[in-house]
Chain A
């Protein structure tokens, strides 16, 4: 009897995370619905003007969708090569003596609060861009650099684990055939670990697109379509955090709808992850 009760109790605890996801979906999409109904889904997604205080107000988030895509792409351009190569270093080059220190360092990089990344970017990277390039420094480039560093630990950790999971015989076989260490790593090991590395990259993309505080502090947040990487940009996340404090009525619903669009992006990324993992399973690795 006691055993049965305990089992059901544990079961209920497990179901809470399912309940949480259901609640989040329900309240975000229900909160977004009035705005989408008033503005229309297509004008909301493709409109370039966001003027919540005008009469009548205008709600279009096209620039912000593009902005989120730009800074995420920029973060990938910086974070993916550095992250994957660092993972290779961790898996195959790092001397035993400093390995513990290195992996501690990567965890610390993951643990640093995003507000500190943002503050660092605001104090050093933004002025540096302003001094050396055009504009006032608050830009796509600044946001991309900050996010590029922030996605490193995710990409490094996941890639390293998958590189290490490749059977040793692959690597040794390549060496035995006369390939150099680098050739064995880049033409045998990395292709064999590709689904794990891709998983790391997609998780990194998820982190970059959802990051808020660090981006708000360095991106400038002007609602424009940036023509160069030195121009200001507003992301979906920035739009939420900047206006949620004082928004009301349709304006608030439109903010929630911005969150819903972001949520849909994340769900799509999760779908991509599912496909990657399924592919690796059927490949029989």
Chain B
């Protein structure tokens, strides 16, 4: 009996290690494939050169991506932080509003990006009349980010010890002052890491942007112009570009992976400080 028990345990253990191996290898495989081929096709002109049919450079897409990130965060970040402040600091525990807001954010978190894209194209694009434009894309993605930032900001604010608040009240500070001078600054690393991660979401988003921000290959002249972010540029290049398009896709993919990697490291470095600050 003892040996049978051991055999079974060993089999399970093998499966555990096997699964871990599959996870690590699939990530390593994807990253190395993209990076190696990206380096092979590397050309400065494809990154910073002027876009033309001979040189399908990504320079304009980099500009559009930066503008999109900035504008989307400008809409989503303050809203989400205020919402998290209300849920954690103002609302009574278990109140109806908290329950409904939580239900709404959970629903938003589950909606596929293509449905956001549909909604954005109909509502911001057609009903509000922004058409295919940076503005339409930013509004759409801003809604997608609400649940991401709200949830993580809530966690960060909840981790601030009550002692801080009581100390502040004890010194005669008002609630508003306590929230903005004590609670939010103490939770800042968590909030910043949430914002960095949501920048990653914006950069990687394709399905919600392709029919809102559109896919015109041009440097946008205004916020009402259509353009492409890097991810959309990669999709269009793969779909329409043939062999040359694949080279562009490899290089764009490499740039995307590189940015996402930096953001993940930054987010976990900054976010990792949260817990440590409160330990002493």
Contacts and interface: CB of A to CB of B under 8 A. Distances in A.
Interface of A: 2-3, 6-7, 9-11, 13-18, 20-21, 23-24, 27-28, 31, 81-86, 88-90, 93-94, 102, 104-109, 111-117, 119-120, 122-124, 149, 152, 156, 180-183, 185-186, 203, 206, 209-213, 217, 237, 240-241, 244-245, 255-256, 259, 262-263, 266-267, 269-270, 273
Contacts of A181: 9, 13
Interface of B: 5-6, 8-10, 12-13, 15-20, 22-24, 26-27, 29-30, 33-34, 78-79, 82-83, 85-87, 90-91, 97, 100-101, 104-108, 110-119, 121-123, 127, 143, 146-147, 150, 174-176, 197, 200, 203-207, 210-211, 231, 234-235, 238, 246, 249, 253, 256-257, 260-261, 263-265, 268
A241 B207 contact: yes
B265 A104 contact: yes
Given A113-B260, A152-B26, A241-B117, 20 more contacts: A10-B85, A14-B82, A14-B86, A14-B87, A17-B104, A17-B147, A27-B122, A28-B122, A85-B19, A88-B19, A90-B20, A104-B264, A111-B263, A113-B205, A116-B234, A182-B8, A237-B112, A240-B118, A256-B118, A269-B110
Contacts of B127: 27
Contacts of B12: 182, 185-186
Nearest to B20: A89
Main secondary structure of the interface of B (DSSP, over half): helix
B200 A119 contact: no
A85 B14 CA distance: 10
Contacts of B257: 112, 116
Contact of B111 (A16, A114, A210, A212): A210
Pairs of residues from A and B, 5 with the lowest C-beta to C-beta distance, nearest first: A210-B112, A113-B204, A85-B19, A10-B86, A13-B82
A270 B23 CA distance: 27
Most chain A CB within a 10 A radius of its CB, from B101, B207, B261, B265: B207
A23 B119 contact: yes
Contact of A27 (B8, B18, B97, B123): B123
Contacts of A84: 19
Contacts of A116: 30, 34, 204, 234, 253, 256-257
Contact of A14 (B97, B204, B231): B97
Contacts of A203: 110
B66 to A, nearest CB: 16
A186 B5 CA distance: 13
B26 A149 contact: yes
Contacts of A273: 106
A81 B14 CA distance: 13
Given A31-B122, A104-B265, A21 B108 contact: yes
Nearest to B254: A116
A86 B19 contact: yes
A72 B253 CA distance: 25
B33 A18 contact: no
A111 B200 CA distance: 7
Given A3-B176, A122-B238, A237-B207, A17 B112 contact: no
B90 A111 contact: no
Nearest to B250: A119
Nearest to A5: B176
A16 B75 CA distance: 12
Contacts of A117: 30
A161 to B, nearest CB: 12
A18 B100 contact: yes
A3 B91 CA distance: 14
A270 B111 CA distance: 10
Contacts of A259: 114-115, 118
Contacts of A206: 110, 112
B19 to A, nearest CB: 3
Given A111-B197, A112-B30, A263 B146 contact: no
A182 B13 contact: yes
